[in-house]
Amino acid sequence: MSETHSDQLLSEVAALPQLPGVYRYFDAAGGVLYVGKARNLKKRVANYFQKSHGGTRIGHMISKIVRMETTVVRSEAEALLLENNLIKRLKPRYNILFRDDKSYPYLKITGTRIAGPEAAMVAGSFPRLAYYRGAVDKRHRYFGPYPSAWAVKESIQLLQKVFRLRTCEDTVFANRTRPCLLYQIKRCTGPCVGHITPEAYAQDVNNAEALLTGETQQVLTGLEERMTAHAEKLEFEQAAALRNQMTALSRVLHQQSVEVASDKDVDILVVLVQGGKACVNLAMVRGGRHLGDRPYFPSHIEEATQIRQGHFESDSGLEDDRDPPADVDVSPSVRTVALDRIEVQVLEAFIAQHYIDVPVPPTLVLSEQVSSALIEAIAQHSGTRITAVYQPREQRRHWLEMAQTNAGLQLARLLAEEGSQQARTRALVEALDLAPDDLDDFRIECFDISHTAGEATQASCVVFHNHKMQNSEYRRFNIDGITPGDDYAAMRQVLLRRYAKVAEAMAASAEVPPPGVETVDAVELVAPSGSLAVVDAEVGVENAASLAEAVPARRASRGLARLPDLVLVDGGKGQVSMAREVFSQLGLALSLIVGVEKGEKRKVGLEELVFADGRDKVYLGRDSAALMLVAQIRDEAHRFAITGMRAKRAKVRIGGSQLEDIPGIGPKRRARLLQRFGGIRGVADASVEDIASVEGIASELAEEIYRALH
């Protein structure tokens, strides 16, 4: 393989130190091919270039390497953490990659507790329960993480039934004059109107926290002792309230099938590989309660596993420090192959990538035995002592079996969906008599226009690629400069914006001047989280709130510079005629355009396809798999356009501005305004005099706020 690489690259390989570190391989276009770690950089990297890998995937990958970067670290643990940070950020083509999920939800109890017999609260005497997702604030207490929003809300309902803690916003709480419905149905003790003392409420908060941390028996014992004490003092009403609380807690625990076990916080991880796909199912136990699970489906399975397997065989297991089970006698050669099974690789990749950003519990129950070095590195990173359990018993065994069952169901669902989508893609290609080079690479873009009587007009573009919707490539376009309600003009504008640059690039590559292209300057930006935003002079920014830092991205890597294999427009002859006019102007093939015309009385299943190149309309049939795919994509474009339009319309109707956009309004003044008037709409409805009455708001600033919101 060394014959295909430059002398400079080979000299860099020869000069590598025999130290732990991380290496990155790049192709000619600057794309990242692979990220790996090594206990000995020189030995590990030299193996790639000194061995003959033939026509394997690892050989194909090595043939593309034109540049290499390395980072020396102090230990293998540091190398492991850096490797997976880089994998998550760079998304290499030949690494097992788990997509960054949204942050996990938590259950939050507001307020900071002061130690003392009455457990008073600094941030208000009556803390509230809340669903929370985001960065934690030390002033509050957080419980979790939870696998889903449903699990958090179920826990909140449990605590409401037993301890009747409030869930209302502080602004609502401060302005109530009589109890709300939750008080009437015995889900709140009515602290807003003084129906419970701060001391009694604080005791309920303490019990709720104890229950969330798994101290169920202690809570029941404490309630029983307090009930007995009240009964001895002949305070029968208070004793009866505590008795009812104990009954409610016992009933809820029975209904929730809560297992009172010695384990408080445990993650159960199961991996299953089938049909070229893998599923890692993560089940969570928090406070002794099984909260449910969440499936993860990694990408690049086949490429990454074949490269690692080929590398392990050539490297004689130098990097493998896993220990076989105590009761199994395994020879070194068999041990290396067995411990590098696909399931183990996938599970190790998940653990390394997942627990870099997510708190790790003290116990992990695993379906596969993983490297002890990996567990030690995660423990060192988190500052938590971690026990990894393989082949568990008793309660842990039941949890593992439950997670395995769910992993099988989730993977079967994924394979069924993908098989169905592939069949639908094939049916559409055959119905339209298309001949794509690669069915798996077949790409469809669909456009829809949405507005309300011409107000807040937006166009949406959704993408179907690799047999599924690619929501990271969706885009919205703000439509301006047209007659309100003119859908044809809106469609013309969005198609010009989307394909002008594509036509220009195609013309440039063919060394032919672009045919009368109306260009719109556009820049693509990638947020640190990897989410895509598109900015141009008229489109605006999608997901701008989360775009804290942006860098230029390669258009080709996202697929946005290529012309799709099919362009769907939601509409009949009129919209198709407008699309034909735009494509003719840009010099693009008219055969790409297909309109989705609603059927008689707009009934679903009666849609017809209208073509821009003059072909007759086609009715695919109500039960056609091709029509199902067209309807799925069309409906997704409509949904995406509607949600964007409604958000824009809501902003327009309150004056097109938010408080944070007004000069002179910082976090403190904004908080005072929202607290006084109960929200942005309340501020918009207030007079200049009312706004000026808020602390820190001068008359001139009040007038500025009023003008901005009107």
Domain end point (choices 90, 111, 138)? 90
The overall average pLDDT reported for the chain is 76
Q: Verify that 615 and 661 share a domain, yes or no.
A: no
CA distances from 10 to 1, 13, 482, 525, 628 (A): 11, 5, 60, 35, 54
Of 191-205, 260-274, 449-463, 505-519, give the range with the top mean pLDDT.
191-205
Same domain, 447 and 588: yes
Do 570 and 680 lie in a common domain? no
Position with higher pLDDT, 55 vs 615: 615
**DSSP SS3 for 290:** strand
Do 494 and 612 reside in the same domain of the chain? yes
Tokens of 558: 């996202």
Share of the chain above pLDDT 90, in %: 10
Give the residue-averaged pLDDT of 673-684: 77
- pLDDT tier at 101, thresholds 50, 70, 90: low
Does residue 453 share a domain with residue 384?
no
Whether residue 309 has pLDDT greater than 80: no
Note whether 462 and 386 are same-domain residues. no
Question: Is position 592 within any domain?
Answer: yes
Per-residue model confidence (pLDDT) at position 334: 38
Residue 705's CATH number: 1.10.150.20
Backbone angles phi, psi at 459, to 5 degrees: -115, 145
pLDDT at 647: 65
Domain boundary among 600, 633, 666: 633
For residues 455 and 602, membership in a common domain is answered with: yes
What pLDDT is attached to residue 554?
Answer: 35
State the residue range of the domain holding 344.
266-412
Q: Are residues 574 and 674 in the same domain?
A: no
pLDDT above 90 (res 600): no
Q: Does residue 202 form part of some domain?
A: no
Question: Does 535 reside within a domain?
Answer: yes
**549: domain CATH number?**
3.30.420.340
401 and 526 inside one domain: no
540 domain-assigned? yes
For 342, 511, 582, the CA distances from 503, given in Å and listed in that order, are: 43, 12, 11
Q: Do 402 and 486 belong to one domain? A: no
Domain boundary among 90, 113, 143: 90
Highest mean pLDDT of the ranges 250-259, 326-335, 583-592: 583-592
What is the per-residue pLDDT across 381-397, written as a single tens digit (0 to 9) for each?
A: 888 899 999 888 888 89
Beginning with the edge strand found earlier in the chain, give each strand of the sheet holding 21-26 in spatial order: 32-38, 21-26, 67-72
Query: Which parts of 499-559 are beta strand (E)?
Result: 522-526, 532-536, 551-552
Which of 226-258 are b and which e, b meaning 16 or more Cβ less than 10 Å from the residue's Cβ?
bbeebeeeeeeeebeebbebbebbeebbeeeeb
For residue 22, what pLDDT is reported? Answer: 93
The pLDDT tens digits for 510-525 are 654 445 444 333 333 3
Give me the CATH number covering residue 346.
Answer: 3.30.420
513 assigned to some structural domain: yes
pLDDT of amino acid 538? 34
135: buried, middle or exposed (CB in 10 Å: 19+, 13-18, 0-12)?
exposed
**Residue 543 belongs to some domain of the structure:** yes
Give the separation between CA 563 and CA 559, rounded to whole angstroms.
Answer: 9
% helix, strand, coil for the chain, step of 5: 45, 15, 35
The arithmetic mean of pLDDT across residues 429-449, rounded, is: 86
Cα–Cα distance for residue pair 668/428, rounded to 1 Å: 56
Single pTM value for the model: 0.59
pLDDT at residue 53, as a whole number: 62
Would the pLDDT of 365 be above 90?
Answer: yes
Question: Domain total for the chain?
Answer: 4
Instruction: Please list, in sequence order, all residues whose beta carbon lies within 8 angstroms of the beta carbon of residue 441, skipping any fewer than 6 positions away.
Output: 465, 466
Task: Evaluate whether residue 318 is within a structural domain.
Answer: yes
Q: Which of 407, 404, 415 is nearest to 277 (CA)?
A: 415
162 is a domain residue: no
- Tell whether 377 and 454 lie within a shared domain: no
Residue 271: pLDDT over 90: yes
In terms of domains, do 344 and 484 share one? no
| Confidence band, pLDDT 50/70/90 cuts, at residue 28 | confident
Tally the C-alpha atoms within 13 A of residue 332's C-alpha that lie toward its C-beta.
8
What are the φ/ψ torsions at residue 126 (nearest 5 degrees)?
Answer: -130, 85
Give me the CATH number covering residue 32.
3.40.1440.10
Structure-block tokens of residue 320: 């493998």
